[in-house]
Each structure stands twice: as structure tokens, then as C-alpha cells.
């Protein structure tokens, strides 16, 4: 009985140690024009980076969400610029969505990058083991 107890104790320790070393990589999928969703994403970034400073976060924009990262339209512009300037948070905009919404790269907030295809970017991150979160309410 004592050996079983020790085995279970060691097994729990191994599981716990492994859980603590799993990388924190998350990609957020933003398609909404809703500014409440934009504020929610920023809140999530603040919470994650304050509790897990080593976390890697990418926010991918397509469809009608481009106002969040467009000059003179974003209600979270200061936060986007602040986090875009860090090494572990990136904001990527789908170039197809930019074309469909008549948004030029010069209209993007500083630090915001582009990707040829936002959906493919999300698929690629998931393939690489990143967690996926759809930002919606």
C-alpha cells in the first residue's frame, strides 16, 4: 500500500511539473467591429501578460474588425501601440480583409503587421500548438 501511495505522489509531481513548463502561446481571432469586443481583447492581453509575462500572444484581424487597429478609428489605439511594442504580443491584419475594406497599410496603427491570409495564419498557429480563442460576445 505504501508503494502505491508513493507512486501516486510521484506521478502527481511529474504531471504538475509538466504543466508548469508548457509554453503559453495563444492566438486571438477577431472579426467583429464591436468596440466592446476590442476592449475585451485588450483586457485579456493585460491579464495574460500580467500573470504570465513569458506568454506569447498574437491577435489576428479579418472581416469587419479592422477598426481596432486603424488610425483615428480605434477605441483602444494607445493599448494596441503599447502592446505592439513588446516582444511577445503581435497584431496581424489579413491583407485580403484590408483590400475588401479599403484599408491601406499607412492607416494601420504603429507596430501592427500584415499577413496575406488571416484564416491561414490562425490555422498555422494552431498547427504549431498555439491555443485558439475566438473573440466574441
Average pLDDT of span 80-96: 98
Residue 9 cell numbers, joined: 505522489
Residue 69 phi/psi, 5° resolution?
Answer: -125, 20
Enclosing domain of residue 118: 23-135
Domain count, the chain: 1
Average pLDDT of span 11-30: 76
Q: What is the pLDDT of residue 5?
A: 56
The answer to the question of residue 110 being in a domain is yes
The answer to the question of residue 11 being in a domain is no
CATH number at residue 128: 3.40.1260.10
Distance of CA 118 to the CA centre of its chain: 13
Residues 96-110: pLDDT tens digits? 999 999 999 999 999
Looking at per-residue pLDDT, the higher value among 6 and 40 belongs to: 40
Q: Which of 62, 68, 71 is nearest to 37 (CA)?
A: 68
Amino acid at each position: 500500500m505504501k508503494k502505491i501511495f508513493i507512486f501516486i505522489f510521484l506521478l502527481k509531481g511529474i504531471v504538475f511539473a509538466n504543466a508548469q513548463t508548457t509554453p503559453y502561446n495563444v492566438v486571438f481571432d477577431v472579426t467583429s467591429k464591436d468596440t466592446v469586443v476590442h476592449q475585451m481583447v485588450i483586457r485579456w492581453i493585460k491579464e495574460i501578460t500580467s500573470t504570465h509575462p513569458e506568454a506569447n500572444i498574437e491577435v489576428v484581424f479579418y472581416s469587419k474588425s479592422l477598426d481596432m487597429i486603424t488610425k483615428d478609428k480605434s477605441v483602444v489605439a494607445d493599448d494596441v501601440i503599447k502592446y505592439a511594442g513588446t516582444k511577445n504580443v503581435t497584431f496581424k491584419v489579413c491583407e485580403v480583409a484590408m483590400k475588401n475594406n479599403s484599408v491601406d497599410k499607412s492607416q494601420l496603427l504603429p507596430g501592427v503587421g500584415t499577413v496575406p491570409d488571416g484564416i491561414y495564419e490562425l490555422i498555422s498557429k494552431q498547427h504549431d500548438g498555439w491555443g485558439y480563442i475566438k473573440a466574441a460576445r
